[in-house]
Amino acid sequence: MAKQEYVERIVPIPEGVSVSLRGKAIEVSGPLGKLTKDLSHMPVDIALKDSSVVISAKWPKKKDLGMVGTAAGHVKNMIKGVTKGFTYKLKIVYAHFPMSVKFSKPDGKVLIENFCGEKTPRVAKVVGGVDVIVSGDDVIVKGINLEDVSQTAANIEAATKIKDKDLRVFLDGIYLYEKSEGI
């Protein structure tokens, strides 16, 4: 099989979104805010052409082929974030001990109290400028950066991991049940 000479992915820039490049650092601005990401660690070339972002690699190895797609995915997620945003919904589940969940914005932490009857609250870190809303049995995580929203949801879910017990019996926790675009 002959080796490919050139690989590129083209990401179109929609109306109302502006993209600027400074080396391999890309900045995307839109109606919901501004995101920046440094892609200098990736072996790809990034350029702006005719209202689109072109990500390419010359004489790519197998790893470089994957990096072109990964960089294009990052840019697409940034554009979606500044136009629509991202929302993750988690459900609070308990059998006997009713747990309470509180979000402290200045600390950037989610406190989970009375989890399985524990006296010490469990703490989950909130990453970046993400909003956490607790309403009834739902925890809603919203933001424009997909990586921050998903990591915050994962931190909340991981904070309620049960150890040293049968997970088929002890089902208490906070679990992700919906991912959507839009704030």
Segment 170-180, tens digit of pLDDT: 899 999 999 99
Q: How far is CA 95 from the centre of its chain?
A: 30
Q: Tens digit of pLDDT for each residue in 70-81?
A: 999 999 999 999
CATH superfamily of 86-181: Ribosomal protein L6 (3.90.930.12)
101 close to 91: Cβ distance less than 8 angstroms: no
pLDDT of residue 2: 58
Confidence check: pLDDT of 3 > 80: no
> What value does the mean pLDDT take over residues 95-101?
93
The structure's pTM equals 0.91
- Topology of domain 6-83, per CATH? Outer Surface Protein A; domain 3 (3.90.930)
Mean pLDDT of the chain: 93
Q: For residue 42, which amino acid is it? A: M
